[in-house]
Amino acid sequence: MNILKIIVTVFLYTSLFPSCNRNKTEVDPLPSWNEGKNKTDIIDYVNTVTNAKSIHYISIPNRIATFDNDGTLWSEQPLYFQLFFAFDRIKEMAPQHPEWKKIQPYKAILENNLAEFLKEGEEGILKIILKSHTGNRTDAFEKSVKKWLATAKHPTKNVAYTALVYQPMLELISYLQQHHFKTYIVSGGGTEFMRPWVETVYGIPKEQVIGSTVKTTYEYNKGKPIIKRKADIEFVNDKKGKPEAIHKFIGRKPVFAVGNSDGDLEMLRWTASNAKKPFMLYIHHTDETREWAYDRASHIGKFDLGLDEALEKGWKIVDMKDDWKKIYPNE
Amino acid sequence: MNILKIIVTVFLYTSLFPSCNRNKTEVDPLPSWNEGKNKTDIIDYVNTVTNAKSIHYISIPNRIATFDNDGTLWSEQPLYFQLFFAFDRIKEMAPQHPEWKKIQPYKAILENNLAEFLKEGEEGILKIILKSHTGNRTDAFEKSVKKWLATAKHPTKNVAYTALVYQPMLELISYLQQHHFKTYIVSGGGTEFMRPWVETVYGIPKEQVIGSTVKTTYEYNKGKPIIKRKADIEFVNDKKGKPEAIHKFIGRKPVFAVGNSDGDLEMLRWTASNAKKPFMLYIHHTDETREWAYDRASHIGKFDLGLDEALEKGWKIVDMKDDWKKIYPNE
């Protein structure tokens, strides 16, 4: 039997007996999701828009899926994890800055006084983010993030921060990728804080991370080019910034978007305006035992206007307590 | 014969008789390139870095290739094609601006007086780019670019602008893509001027276009979100801007970079500093019969410092006249 005949035979077999392939679809793509409307809706959506015979078929290049990060792909309590990184960097830098013992917000950080730190508000946060995240080369910054993630522990859960990613979301990302969706992170977090680890943790390539940025400057010294991070915010990727950044970086409207807070509302609205069939999903933090429970009144991940609009428009809302069999991978 | 046996047989056939696969590699991947050192160097490079047994092997996620556009992927004489688009838009808008008949640089454009227009220098260019490219919605701008490209003709070649892309570069892009390089355009041209057509013309996805940008603003009116283009330059993607933008958009250093002017020098230097085996290529415009011949003294695509450095460092330089069998696809 020559090669051509064999190939034709394989083709005929697999066409005549589609059951040979059925196992593939019978495997549950979302095993950590409880059976229910949300799980069914996600699977129905993916089956519909990837079915070439459906009027809702979406071509592969247009299958853009965008995910918020903090509170959507991993936890964000009691504070955004990037802030704990900033605190640890400040403590590391403190010996070179004896004056910090007396100045806020540094004093509060050095004394592990979170309540005192939070009194300094947005301005305090900005100050320590800039101080701890800039002034160095991009490659040095990347190393410091990797080193921190390898050793730091969450203050109450006492596990590595990357152990606090949501298993059901890892499954959703992978399921969409298997159906040729290009998955992006669109987060208020720092682009360069996320890129060092998203590839191994989420299976999302570095270049598919859109976050907040500081200004950078390229220098060419003695034949060696470097890029330095300046103490100057360039872009805050939150609220209206999200659709603007999606347009700038991707140039296509998403068809699938997931968020968990009011900061994601404009991204979901932008997605909802897609003429192709879109899917908008909000993650609602309802599980105070396994994770945290918060929404309308939370200082982190406030979910108020977004919750109203999701209910009004019929966007999907994950109830973490009810919908997720498992929250974290090692649970 | 059951499916498993057939698959095993196919596997054995193709393993035992590798000649069955050989045709694939025997097909010339760069048919419009004359035989010679540049063609051999490109093919040798790709074979080396994609060979898992080579010490120079580069994993797929790190195979980032960046291409300048004007003068690298398509022609750029007598002026960047985007400027002709701007001129035509200005003429289209002129009836609503009777005052333009008397004010430079509009007057020169309306009178088709290129020499007079060029006297207005960079400032004149900026003025007409902003006037012709902004103030509208992103989707309306995209339509205007598509409409223009479908009808406009190059002033001297008298063909569509997209007919003036370089056939050898189309082959190079496709060859790299076949070897799992992610190909990006990194151009001083406008991101939103390029995105509407790069997919069909170059086979490069929209989201792999990094160019100059104007500021945008997201608005949510009566349930309909839009993004507007403001008359305010956000970023000029040239010279030092290129490595900065590559870092911001991709977050990885390229291993393969192609340019044609001093504006690409920093991108090539950045690429040359990659610890992985990099490939730097300059396109030298040497064919005044089939294309244009210009370098050190040209007002468009000046190639002076870049030429010196390429010669000094041993970067590859394409001599368009000698290296390219064919310049344009329909030649």
At residue B2, the pLDDT reads: 53
Which residues of A are less than 8 Å from B191 in CB distance? 248, 251
A14 touches chain B (CB under 8 A): yes
Q: Which fold has domain A28-78+155-323?
A: Rossmann fold (3.40.50)
Please report the residues numbered 55 through 74 in chain A whose beta carbons come closer than 8 angstroms to any beta carbon of chain B: 61, 64
Q: Which residues pair with A225 in a beta bridge?
A: A220
B213 touches chain A (CB under 8 A): yes
B217 touches chain A (CB under 8 A): yes
DSSP-based three-state secondary structure for A302: coil
At residue B216, the pLDDT reads: 97
Quote the tokens at residue A233: 């915010």
Q: Which residue has the higher pLDDT, A18 or B48?
A: B48
Query: Which amino acid appears at position B113 of this protein?
Result: N
Nearest CA in chain A to B193: A251
Q: Which residue has the higher pLDDT, B6 or A245?
A: A245
Contact flag B217-A266 (C-beta cutoff 8 Å): no
At residue B306, the pLDDT reads: 98
On the question of pLDDT at B20 being above 80, the answer is no
A273 touches chain B (CB under 8 A): yes
What's the whole-number mean pLDDT along residues B224-231?
A: 96
CA dist., res. A233 & res. A213, Å (int)? 6
Instruction: Report the residue from A206, A244, A249 with minimal CB separation from B207.
Output: A249
Query: Which amino acid appears at position A35 of this protein?
Result: E
B9 touches chain A (CB under 8 A): yes
Instruction: Report the residue from B64, B225, B243 with minimal CB separation from A218.
Output: B243
CATH superfamily placement of domain B27-77+158-323: HAD superfamily/HAD-like (3.40.50.1000)
B248 touches chain A (CB under 8 A): yes
A284 touches chain B (CB under 8 A): no
Instruction: Report the residue from A207, A220, A243 with minimal CB separation from B227.
Output: A243
CA dist., res. A125 & res. A109, Å (int)? 11
Query: Which amino acid appears at position A147 of this protein?
Result: K
Cα A194 to chain center, whole Å?
A: 9
Query: Which amino acid appears at position B66 of this protein?
Result: T
Nearest CA to B278 out of B259, B255, B253, B252 is that of: B255
Q: Let me know: does B257 contact B267? Beta carbons within 8 Å.
A: yes
Rg (Cα) of chain B, in Å, rounded? 22
A254 touches chain B (CB under 8 A): no
B244 touches chain A (CB under 8 A): yes
Most B CBs within 10 Å: which of A248, A250, A264, as the mutation test of the B interface?
Answer: A248
First-residue to last-residue Cα distance in chain B: 52
At residue B3, the pLDDT reads: 52
Q: Let me know: does B210 contact B237? Beta carbons within 8 Å.
A: yes
Q: In chain A, which stretches have pLDDT less than 50?
A: 1, 4, 6-24
Could you give the C-alpha distances from A25 to A20, A22, A41, A60, A178, in angstroms and in order? 11, 6, 16, 19, 12
Average pLDDT value for chain A: 93
Q: How far away is chain B from the Cα of A252, in angstroms, using its nearest Cα?
A: 8
User: Quick one: A123 exposed, middle or buried, by C-beta within 10 A (0-12, 13-18, 19+)?
Assistant: exposed
CA dist., res. B259 & res. A270, Å (int)? 36
Say what percent of chain B tops pLDDT 90: 87
Nearest CA to A46 out of A279, A314, A316 is that of: A279
Q: How far away is chain A from the Cα of B318, in angstroms, using its nearest Cα?
A: 24
Which residues of A are less than 8 Å from B216 in CB distance? 244, 247-248
Q: How far away is chain B from the Cα of A250, in angstroms, using its nearest Cα?
A: 4
- Read off φ and ψ for residue A171, nearest 5 degrees: -65, -40
CA dist., res. B62 & res. B54, Å (int)? 15
Instruction: Report the residue from A13, A195, A273 with minimal CB separation from B224.
Output: A273
- How many interchain CB pairs under 8 A, A with B? 104
A88 touches chain B (CB under 8 A): no
A191 touches chain B (CB under 8 A): yes
Cα A253 to chain center, whole Å?
A: 17
Sign of the alpha-carbon dihedral angle for B251, B206, A212, A65: negative
At residue A8, the pLDDT reads: 47
Contact flag A251-B3 (C-beta cutoff 8 Å): no
Please write the tens of the pLDDT for every residue from B253-271: 999 999 999 999 999 999 9
Could you give the C-alpha distances from A175 to A45, A329, B147, in angstroms and in order? 12, 16, 38
On the question of pLDDT at B36 being above 50, the answer is yes
Provide the residue ranges of all domains of chain B, joining segments of one domain with +: 27-77+158-323, 81-151
Q: How far away is chain A from the Cα of B242, in angstroms, using its nearest Cα?
A: 9
CA dist., res. A321 & res. A275, Å (int)? 33
Range scoring the smallest mean pLDDT among A218-222, B49-53, B286-290: A218-222
Nearest CA in chain B to A199: B61
